[in-house]
């Protein structure tokens, strides 16, 4: 079981595991997933203490897996224990009119698929800031929250400027899910300070760079496209290229390996610990290819050590050589726009 330091009081009524299980990896873009094995595998995460799931309407069968998992969990453990599971979904609509009907229908689909009366967290994404109907959508979502269909409203991939616009309209947002890693530290530039001021937290993704931030890639020649066989690996290899390239990334992995050895943990552990310790960060989402690959025992070690000042100094030496992603890409989420 995980120590109590693995838990975070995310909202007054939601206590989460600070390492969340990411379900983009069941979408089909990360290799074949067997639904039966995947849902059964969810028990091992839960039993180890990884009780919090991150998913989305468009992650293939992810919402259905949560529904299935909850039904099996209720049958085996008793429905009274369902409150141990936290499932955070997203709504990523195609741009268009955001009427009450459209918003309510979308929330209804997630409620049905996940087999719940109320969504723990709905994280809203919007593709185009020139179309300000995102504010219409958020107002309807806030009404649905007040009507008891959503416990809390959140965002994903919003930049600081729009987060401020939304907060200033009086729409209560609890978190923003953004890419945050040793390679992509853009949230530290503006987003984190704003969130801290407004009592909003960050949920980080991309922290393990799809698996590139691990011993597996230490000392390896630069992988070609055919080796990068998941959507994540392709996405984050591109990020590394923009950040400073494969040679600099190898320097980073080598520095992390020394730190990891010193603490008897893995490179992935150091990467996750680093982001968990950043201001405003509530949790780090680690992708799980359910039923196909798992790192439960290793990821539990994140809660058993602390980074020291000389570890941070060694990391800084490498990061100082990287390019400025705020300048090259823009604020959080700008890579999608």
Angle between helix axes 160-168 and 134-146 (nearest 10 degrees) is 50
Instruction: Decide: is 208 part of the binding site for ligand NAP (CB under 6 A).
Output: yes
The CB-of-257 to ligand NAP minimum distance in angstroms stands at: 13
| 45 is a contact residue toward ligand NAP (CB under 6 A) | no
Q: What is the smallest separation between the CB atom of 245 and ligand NAP, expressed in angstroms?
A: 19
52 forms part of the interface with ligand NAP (CB under 6 A): no
The candidate with the shortest Cα–Cα distance to 195, out of 247, 153, 160, 232, is: 160
Give me the residue label for tokens 């009427």: 99
Under rule CB under 6 A, residue 25 binds ligand NAP: yes
* 314-333 footprint of ligand NAP as x/- string (CB under 6 A): --------------------
Which residue in 323, 180, 187, 181 sits closest to 256, CA to CA? 181
What lies within 8 Å, CB to CB, of 197 at 6+ separation is: none
| Site membership for ligand NAP, residue 232 (CB under 6 A) | yes
- 65 sits near ligand NAP (criterion: CB under 6 A): no
Stretch that binds ligand NAP, among 18-26, 110-118, 256-264, 308-316 (CB under 6 A): 18-26
Alpha helices in 27-133 (DSSP H): 35-48, 62-77, 100-114
Q: Which of 253, 286, 315, 318 binds ligand NAP (CB under 6 A)?
A: 286
Asked if residue 25 lies in contact with residue 287, where contact means CB atoms within 8 angstroms, the answer is: yes
* Residue closer to ligand NAP (CB basis): 232 or 322: 232
Contact 155, 175 (CB under 8 A): yes
Q: Hey, which residues between 139 and 198 contact ligand NAP (CB under 6 A)? A: 156-157, 177
Judged by CB under 6 A, does residue 205 bind ligand NAP?
A: yes
Displacement of CA 120 from its chain's centroid (Å): 15
Using CB under 6 A, which of 299, 300, 311, 325 touches ligand NAP? 299
Q: Kindly determine how many residues on this chain lie close enough to bind ligand NAP according to the rule CB under 6 A.
A: 27
| Window of 8-16, 141-149, 279-287, 323-331 that interacts with ligand NAP by CB under 6 A | 279-287
Measured from the CB atom, the residue of 233 and 315 that comes closer to ligand NAP is 233
Closest residue by Cα to residue 184 from 261, 252, 230, 90: 252
**Closest Cα partner for 33 from 59, 58, 53?**
59
326 vs 328: CA distance, rounded Å: 6
For residue 9, give the H/E element and its range.
strand 7-11
Alpha carbon distance 123, 153 (integer Å)? 6
Among 191-199, 204-212, 251-259, 320-328, the segment contacting ligand NAP (CB under 6 A) = 204-212
Shortest CA distance to 153 belongs to which of 117, 124, 194? 124
Q: How far is the CB of 65 from ligand NAP (least distance, A)?
A: 12
Binding-site ranges for ligand NAP (CB under 6 A): 22-25, 54, 156-157, 177, 205-211, 214, 232, 266, 268, 285-287, 289, 293, 295, 298-299
């Amino acid at each position: 079981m995980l120590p109590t330091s693995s838990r975070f009081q995310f909202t007054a009524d939601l206590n989460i595991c600070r390492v969340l299980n990411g379900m983009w990896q069941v979408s089909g873009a990360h290799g074949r997933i067997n639904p039966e094995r995947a849902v059964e595998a969810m028990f091992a995460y839960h039993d180890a203490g990884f009780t919090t799931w991150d998913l989305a309407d468009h992650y293939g069968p992810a919402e259905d897996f949560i529904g299935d998992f909850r039904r099996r969990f209720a049958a085996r453990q008793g429905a009274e224990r369902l409150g141990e599971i936290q499932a955070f979904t997203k709504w990523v609509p195609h741009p268009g009119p955001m009427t009450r009907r459209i918003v309510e229908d979308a929330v209804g689909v997630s409620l049905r698929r996940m087999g719940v009366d109320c969504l723990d967290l709905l994280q809203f994404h919007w593709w185009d800031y020139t179309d300000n109907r995102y504010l219409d959508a958020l107002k309807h979502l806030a009404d649905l929250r007040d009507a008891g269909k959503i416990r809390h409203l959140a965002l994903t991939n919003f930049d600081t400027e729009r987060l401020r616009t939304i907060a200033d309209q009086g729409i209560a947002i609890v978190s923003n899910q953004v890419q945050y890693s040793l390679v992509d530290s853009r949230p530290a530039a503006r987003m984190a300070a704003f969130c801290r001021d407004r009592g909003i937290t960050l949920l980080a993704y991309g922290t393990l760079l799809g698996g590139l931030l691990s011993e597996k890639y230490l000392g390896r020649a630069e992988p070609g496209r055919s080796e990068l066989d998941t959507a994540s690996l392709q996405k984050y290899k591109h990020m590394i290229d923009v950040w400073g390239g494969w040679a600099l990334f190898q320097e980073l992995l080598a520095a992390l390996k020394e730190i990891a050895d010193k603490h008897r943990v893995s490179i992935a552990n150091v990467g996750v610990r680093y982001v968990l310790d950043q201001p405003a960060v509530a949790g780090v989402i680690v992708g799980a290819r359910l039923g196909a690959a798992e790192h439960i025992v290793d990821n539990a070690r994140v809660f058993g050590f602390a980074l020291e000042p000389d570890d941070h100094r060694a990391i800084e030496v490498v990061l100082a050589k990287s390019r400025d992603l705020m300048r090259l890409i823009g604020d959080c989420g700008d890579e999608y726009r």
